Chains A and B, each alone.
Chain A
Amino acid sequence: MTTFLGMPSYAPRGVGALRGFDLFPAAAREALGNAQLRRNLGHATATIRAKRAAVVGEVADWEELRLAGEAIKAVTMARLDEHLVRLEREVTERGGTVHWARDANEANRIVTDLVRAAGADEVVKVKSMATQEIGLNEALAEAGIAAWETDLAELIVQLGHDRPSHILVPAIHRNRSEIREIFLREMSDVDPGLTDEPRQLAMAARAHLRRKFLTAKVAVSGANFAVAETGTLAVVESEGNGRMCLTLPQTLITVMGIEKLVPTWRDLEVFLQLLPRSSTGERMNPYTSLWTGVTPGDGPQTFHLVLLDNGRTAVLSDEVGRAALHCIRCSACLNVCPVYERTGGHAYGSVYPGPIGAILSPQLTGIEDNASLPYASSLCGACYDVCPVRIDIPTILVHLRGRHVEERSRRRLPSPEAVTMAAAGWTMARPARFRGAERLLRVGRVLGRRRGRIGALPPPLSAWTASRDLPRPPSETFRQWWRRTRGTS
């Protein structure tokens, strides 16, 4: 065994789903033009927002719970290494096997080998962000192993040869008539008379999935939490399909990001209150499955836990950005985000969309690979207000913009923006220069002479004037007026 003590590495390129093809503004343009998508998203996010607000409003000590959640995460991350070793010991003592995966490639290899060793050519899957992040299904497919998604929304995405667009409701961009079409096209065993009534759609999925549950020898899951003190894993869900996967197959393989751990059961209590109200807007989620190692004669008889880094240690090394690791994947920030509501999740490129994705993905991959994401926000702050663990997303967005600008400057990559910003900074650092620059406003007065406002400017300011007028600059600035009417103060 060797010990690697270099700088923490980012999630590798060429594997997984943390990087998109287009920059955010270009990807967003496509989404903005899709009227059906806009309608589906607007309707769905408004519904979840209202549900969340109602159930959060019922909890008298909600702010105290948020503070507790934030504090527990902060102290846990500060000693993550010790807690992880404890978790490994407890899981092992209770009959499980722990594997450490530095990145997506290692994790995919470990899981593939375990499935092969179990003699299986298919697995059933519990909804999991970590396995989406590392592209596990694709890696298994390359090895000739079929992975069946059993979460209803993930099933819709998988059958539609689509990508998830939301952390909690990955098919949020689809409405029920689109889902019906997907089922009719892709489910070989479906009743051709299927309507788009939600109950009928659910029953079709249920019949389709039941056969998989009863035949699969291996299940793959993620984890919402792991309790270090007893080596217990937790999955929180609504449908019960996760529990089928967690209990029926002989072998269970859980892939978990290293940041999902909480030290004690007392800590877990806080998050089990915060998560359902923030995510589905329910007082309590229907299914909370907890398992500890292996229990003879009950449930899977072989249990493997794969602990995944894939860039997380790099995130942990950033004093400001590390709070992104506190995320419990509730997706409340997506549902309140005015940008997400209009673009949907695909525009973010990564499997982690929305405000949390905009701070998490660039930190996992290195900023240059997701450089447009920290700018995909108006910094309105709605995300911070709803975050159950009080991640100050706007501050981290601004911090990452700073890191991006400094990285570009270190690599000597000049941009028109950097030149403009440097010039503006130089000008505004001295009052006399600023007064001088204000005289340039006279040019604007000429431009706006005819209509009293400015309707068209050359690039890059055309990005503003394409949809908005600019006011015609005034005949005198405030400071000129002050000096004229009051003299110097």
Chain B
Amino acid sequence: MRVALFITCLADALFPSVGQATVSLLERLGHEVVFPEDQTCCGQMHINTGYRREGLRLIRHHTEVFSGSDAIVAPSGSCVGSVRHQHAEMARRAGDDALAAAAEGVAARTYELSEFLVDVLGVTDVGAYYPHRVTYHPTCHSLRLLRVGDRPLRLLRAVRGIDLVELPAAEECCGFGGTFAVKNAEVSTAMLADKMRHITSTGADVLTAGDSSCLMHIGGGLTRLRAGTRSVHLAEILAATA
């Protein structure tokens, strides 16, 4: 299958290893990965902060870039959530029905990584080897916007060598929330403190999740406290081999 990688602006700029892992995982499973180089950002940050005009411009650009792709995969629940639940609606409300229709088409072909692996490719054992104690945080948008359910956990359980431990109060938000992390930094930090308390209580040396943004927030807190737990994206664990 020919898969177009939607890298997300954050992973592109700050976490290229997440993109590299996604590419190597999909290629190992026998699929061709293409990278539409004109892609920039899905516009979620603008939309969610109230900047609809700028957001709409980015929606238009994103839709144009990916309109020719058959399957679009992103290592992010949040960005896929925006494409699927915000793009067409924003276009419609702005009175651009043609863009809304095109965005709906792109949305229908866009998948978060764990959805794509489990639902489209039909695999849960991706042949990974990862000998570490790992706990998984389900990010809010993958959980409640995309409803990925236990797909990431099914993928993780099939990883050889892994010691997967359950995260207490896993479904509670980590406090990132995009610009919320800066606009309401102190509430965000209070939420992070509880998330980190639960993570360290598991004794895991690796925290994983499907969103680089939430991992940047939680991981930034963990390194600040020298907590001894690393944050690693799900794609990187699934790409790892012996």
Contact = CB atoms under 8 A, between A and B. Distances in A.
Given A28-B184, A398-B48, A402-B52, A473 B178 contact: no
Given A398-B47, A489-B34, A378 B186 contact: no
Given A380-B177, A468-B221, A424 B54 contact: yes
Interface string B211-224: 00000110111011
Most chain B beta-carbon contacts within 10 A, residue among A378, A455, A489 = A378
A428 interface: yes
A320 B89 CA distance: 11
A401 interface: yes
B187 interface: yes
Given A467-B185, A471-B219, A477-B16, A377 B177 contact: yes
A466 interface: yes
Contacts of A272: none
Contacts of B182: 460-461, 463-464
Contact of B57 (A384, A425, A480): A425
B189 interface: yes
B37 A479 contact: yes
A4 interface: no
B164 interface: no
Contact of B177 (A379, A461, A480, A482): A379
B37 A428 contact: no
Nearest to B178: A379
Interface residues on B, range: 35 or more
A405 B61 CA distance: 22
Contacts, number: 199
Interface residues on A, range: 35 or more
B29 to A, nearest CB: 18
Given A378-B176, A425-B53, A460-B182, 6 more contacts: A338-B172, A380-B140, A381-B143, A421-B54, A470-B220, A481-B16
Q: Which 4 A-B pairs have the closest CB atoms?
A: A378-B177, A425-B54, A401-B50, A468-B220
Interface of A: 24-25, 28-29, 32, 320, 338-339, 342-343, 374-382, 384-385, 398, 401-406, 417-418, 421-422, 424-426, 428-431, 434, 438, 441, 453, 455, 460-461, 463-464, 466-471, 473-474, 476-483, 486, 488-489
Interface of B: 7, 9, 11-17, 19-20, 34-41, 43, 45-55, 57-58, 61, 86, 93, 140-141, 143-145, 171-173, 175-192, 216-217, 219-221, 223-224
